Chains A and B, each alone.
Chain A
Amino acid sequence: MEFELSKKQQELRDNLNQLGRFVIRPMSLQMDREHQVPATFLQQFVSMANSMRSDDDLAAAFGEGKKEPPSLDKPSFTNRTSLIGAEELAWADASVLLCLPGPGLGGPPIRATGTAEQKQKYFGMIHDADKRGELAWGAYGLTEPSAGSDVSGIQSTCRKDGKHWVINGRKCYITNGARALWVVIFASVDLNKGRAGHRAFVVEKGTTGFSVGKIEDKLGLRASETAELVLEDCRVPEENLLGGEDAYLTKSTGFQTAMKTFDATRPLVASMALGIGRAAYEHARDAVKDRYMIGRPIARYHALVERLAKMHRRLEAARMLTYRAAYMADVGQPNAKEASMSKAAAAQAAVKACVEAIEICGAEGTISKEDALLEKWFRDIKVYDIFEGTGQVQRVVISKRIFSDLKSF
């Protein structure tokens, strides 16, 4: 039972906090309006990350693609450290975090179930591009128009044709989907088989039959690219089947690949939500501070500070759940329930914090300007209770597991 951050974690947090405060936040609104994070900034960010590469934990926080291939299959940084980095970047601007070059959400499934060759190849592609000074992304294509949280309901199909697989279907809401060098795509060999029929592939950009549909116009996280992907008789080589054909003969199925990914990414998403929630809390706190400190804390401020305190402790309680889920992942304990708990609690606390912060600030809270990003955070946060599984789906996961030892289940 220890709660002190390591020296590395503190450095990471402090460095990212400085960067966020003085570099990222001042350009946050413009990126939001222009629907993109400037490539020059991302390049600077990457070279800065590379210059710190001697410090494993630190370099790793900027994306695994920036690391040397030999350690690709095993991240050398802990989940706990990643959380701390993610929270700090999200505190600055969550869109920037989503736009960072690297394998993104495509990393965990490859790391969890890819063969040695696949890990080498796909992490290597990003690593090589980086060496050439190019920005490179991976992506994760699971969601479909008719299958969001219910992953088992995907309608994309795949069939073997000689040395190739032929994939057909549509994927939606894919972060960095259009710019990614490769996307992990889920499809079914037999729609009647449900989860057992799922297969995961790595589909490379430029593959025949693989194209980008529309780029979404969103409520928040507007600087982040959210794409629709279309697969029409898309032919991928058989070696792109994640984990290889044999893996699907044993119990490691495509569905499990998707689920394993969530055990690591849900706490990460939770910590991003906490970063935004904390930003909103701090904004409201500072707004109240000026008035509370006049020396005559009128009744309204007594009521307001109670709301502030409540906002804060809900975020902190969710933070404890998030740290716990990451801790469990780090020491190799099964954490599906705890990962979902952290995600559900953090998203809920952070959405609430943003709503409350706006109410506390009054009209001022809804105004968009460079030094007041509250309205942006209010827009950004909502999707945290939706992506990586909605709050409701988290509760399905949690309740299934808490009832699993009871006799009626």
Chain B
Amino acid sequence: MTISFEPTEEQRLMRDTVAQFGAEKLRPRLRETEAARDLAADLRSGLAELGIGALWTPEAHGGAGTSVRTAVLIEEELGFSDAGAAFALPGPNTLAHALVELGDEAQQTKHFAPFAQDPSRVGAVAFSEGRGLARPGFAATAKREGASWILEGEKKFVLNAGRAGTYVVFAQTDEAKGWNGIGAFVVDAAAKGFSVVRRHQTVGLDAAAFGDVKLEGVRVEESDRLAGGDDFDAALRRFFARQSLQVAARAVGVARAGYELARAYADERKAFGKPIAHFQAIAFLIADRLMDVDGARGLVWRAAWTLDGAGSDHWKKKHKGDTELLLRCAESVAEATEVAVRCGDDCIQVHGGAGFVRDFIAEKLFRDAKQMALCTSSATTSDQLFAALALGAPLDPAIVLPVPEIQPVFI
């Protein structure tokens, strides 16, 4: 084995199929999708037919059985076509990452099943809260009552709030233990005491629903508590790593869209008698953005390759723990989201005044990119995680995870 940048024939085929769907269906209707604040029914079913919703679901539980490398190729195309649509996709979404990393086999079997039966079903993870508390940990609580847990409190910034049929809800199980006293619980949207209290109007990705949910005495059985194997903290970090990588791949797509649109506009727009692409101030700017896009993509690919290998015996023999996996995902998401925002920004700049009006896509890319940068472990948090790993420092959740007391994010 050695370094290679060539996708397999199968990967190319899948990527191209999604790219075509994106170019024909998603991109032409991106304004419609945004205005409706949802995917139209035909787009929803078209995407479900392509099986994209189950991209991150394990094959044993109804997933497509594609590698993470294939998944990131497809995610990039979705981000490139319409990032808003990508985040509004039906399927388990973030819930898949939570079940994979935090759930045991029986829990995965049980909770992935409804998604296999109904591809239009949606999943969500309720992690974030408003401002942090005086003590470390969540305000939402889970208290034992016999063989069950009773959940109380409010969770914020939940992707797919209101659309999801299944949620994984994070809550404090032991207030005295801070971030070591938290738990994750699978909650059905129909559960008594569970409600969606609002949907936010967001700067970007508004086709996806970001909202808050309320828990008023929601009862969850012990068997639906996701224990994260032997090490809940480590599993939680891997959950964020996976989720970050998915966002990073989409961010590369948005960045590439910014680059492509800027490039095309620079050829059309004339100033001082020639297309502005002939001025080095513009040409170099666009060249720099291509370097950004391709560099970030390289990091995403390498992280995906790492994640693909992470389960194998070869990997376990070679690596102790998750360090490399976490490093690769952290650097990917930090770089990709930063690059996406820069590409969106420069795409507007190249368009000049035209970039500021909604006749052109530039302004939407900028908004989507900024939103995306807060849709997962942000660059700030990811850089802290990277550094803590590189320095061999303790992985304090309050520093290396996007917990509310540091920086609430959309999950």
By a beta-carbon cutoff of 8 Å, the part of chain A in contact with chain B is: 1-6, 9, 78, 80, 285, 288-289, 292-293, 297, 302, 305-306, 308-310, 312-314, 316-321, 323-324, 326-328, 331, 341, 344-345, 392, 395-396, 398-399, 402-403, 406-409
A297 touches B3 (CB 8 A): no
Task: Give Cα distance in the complex from A4 to B266, angstroms.
Answer: 39
Task: Choose among B266, B280, B291 the residue that contacts A341 (Cβ–Cβ < 8 A).
Answer: B291
- The A-contacting residues of B in range 389-411, CB under 8 angstroms, are 390-393, 399
Q: What residues on A are CB-neighbors of B286 within 8 Å? A: 399, 402
Q: What residues on B are CB-neighbors of A319 within 8 Å? A: 298
- The A-contacting residues of B in range 1-40, CB under 8 angstroms, are 1-8, 11
Q: How far is the CB of B284 from chain A (nearest CB, A)?
A: 4
B2 touches A321 (CB 8 A): no
> Given A1-B8, A403-B266, 10 more contacts at CB 8 Å?
A5-B3, A313-B331, A313-B334, A314-B335, A323-B5, A324-B298, A328-B5, A395-B284, A396-B283, A406-B277
Q: What residues on B are CB-neighbors of A80 within 8 Å? A: 2-3
A293 touches B391 (CB 8 A): yes
Task: Choose among B2, B294, B295 the residue that contacts A2 (Cβ–Cβ < 8 A).
Answer: B2
Is B199's beta carbon under 8 Å from chain A?
no
Task: Give Cα distance in the complex from A324 to B386, angstroms.
Answer: 24
B383 touches A305 (CB 8 A): yes
B302 touches A320 (CB 8 A): yes
Task: Give Cα distance in the complex from A319 to B298, angstroms.
Answer: 9
Is B388's beta carbon under 8 Å from chain A?
yes
Q: How far is the CB of B268 from chain A (nearest CB, A)?
A: 8
Is B69's beta carbon under 8 Å from chain A?
yes
- The A-contacting residues of B in range 289-304, CB under 8 angstroms, are 290-292, 294-299, 301-302, 304
B291 touches A321 (CB 8 A): yes
Is B274's beta carbon under 8 Å from chain A?
yes
Task: Choose among A1, A3, A309, A408 the residue that contacts B383 (Cβ–Cβ < 8 A).
Answer: A309
Most buried by B among A292, A313, A328: A313
- Interface residues as binary, B373-387 with A (CB distance below 8 Å gives 1, 0 otherwise): 000000010111011
B387 touches A308 (CB 8 A): yes
B391 touches A402 (CB 8 A): no
- Interface residues as binary, B275-288 with A (CB distance below 8 Å gives 1, 0 otherwise): 10110100110111
Q: How far is the CB of B144 from chain A (nearest CB, A)?
A: 34
- The A-contacting residues of B in range 145-167, CB under 8 angstroms, are none
Task: Give Cα distance in the complex from A395 to B306, angstroms.
Answer: 32
Q: What residues on B are CB-neighbors of A320 within 8 Å? A: 294-295, 297-299, 301-302
Task: Choose among B295, B301, B335 the residue that contacts A1 (Cβ–Cβ < 8 A).
Answer: B301
Query: Lowest 8 A-B CB distances belong to which pairs?
Result: A320-B298, A317-B295, A305-B387, A309-B383, A399-B283, A406-B267, A398-B287, A408-B275
Is B263's beta carbon under 8 Å from chain A?
yes
Task: Choose among A285, A396, A406, A409 the residue that contacts B264 (Cβ–Cβ < 8 A).
Answer: A406
Is B232's beta carbon under 8 Å from chain A?
no
CB-based nearest B residue for A78: B2
Task: Give Cα distance in the complex from A308 to B331, angstroms.
Answer: 11
Q: How far is the CB of A333 from chain B (nearest CB, A)?
A: 10
Q: How far is the CB of B404 from chain A (nearest CB, A)?
A: 18
B383 touches A310 (CB 8 A): yes
Q: What residues on A are CB-neighbors of B306 within 8 Å? A: 3
A6 touches B380 (CB 8 A): no
B295 touches A292 (CB 8 A): no
Most buried by B among A78, A399, A408: A399
B305 touches A309 (CB 8 A): no
By secondary structure, the A interface counts as helix
Task: Give Cα distance in the complex from A302 to B398, angstroms.
Answer: 12
B294 touches A341 (CB 8 A): yes
Task: Give Cα distance in the complex from A402 to B263, angstroms.
Answer: 8
A306-B380, A313-B386 are known contacts. Are A2 and B1 too (CB-CB below 8 A)? yes
Task: Give Cα distance in the complex from A308 to B384, angstroms.
Answer: 9
A1-B6, A2-B2, A3-B302 are known contacts. Are A316 and B294 too (CB-CB below 8 A)? no
Q: What residues on A are CB-neighbors of B4 within 8 Å? A: 1-2, 327
Q: How far is the CB of A368 from chain B (nearest CB, A)?
A: 26
A345 touches B295 (CB 8 A): yes
Q: What residues on A are CB-neighbors of B287 within 8 Å? A: 341, 344, 395, 398-399, 402
Task: Give Cα distance in the complex from A297 to B69, angstroms.
Answer: 37
Q: What residues on B are CB-neighbors of A407 within 8 Å? A: 267
Q: How far is the CB of A395 from chain B (nearest CB, A)?
A: 4
Q: What residues on A are CB-neighbors of B3 within 8 Å? A: 2-5, 80, 323, 326-327
A309 touches B384 (CB 8 A): yes
A399-B287, A408-B267 are known contacts. Are A309 and B386 too (CB-CB below 8 A)? yes
Q: What residues on B are CB-neighbors of A289 within 8 Å? A: 391-392
CB-based nearest A residue for B383: A309
CB-based nearest A residue for B389: A309
- The A-contacting residues of B in range 97-135, CB under 8 angstroms, are none
CB-based nearest A residue for B330: A309
CB-based nearest B residue for A285: B390
B284 touches A1 (CB 8 A): no
A305-B383, A306-B383, A317-B299 are known contacts. Are A292 and B2 too (CB-CB below 8 A)? no
A327 touches B387 (CB 8 A): no
- Interface residues as binary, B246-263 with A (CB distance below 8 Å gives 1, 0 otherwise): 000000000000000001
Q: How far is the CB of A191 from chain B (nearest CB, A)?
A: 26
Task: Give Cα distance in the complex from A285 to B7, angstroms.
Answer: 35
Q: What residues on A are CB-neighbors of B274 within 8 Å? A: 408
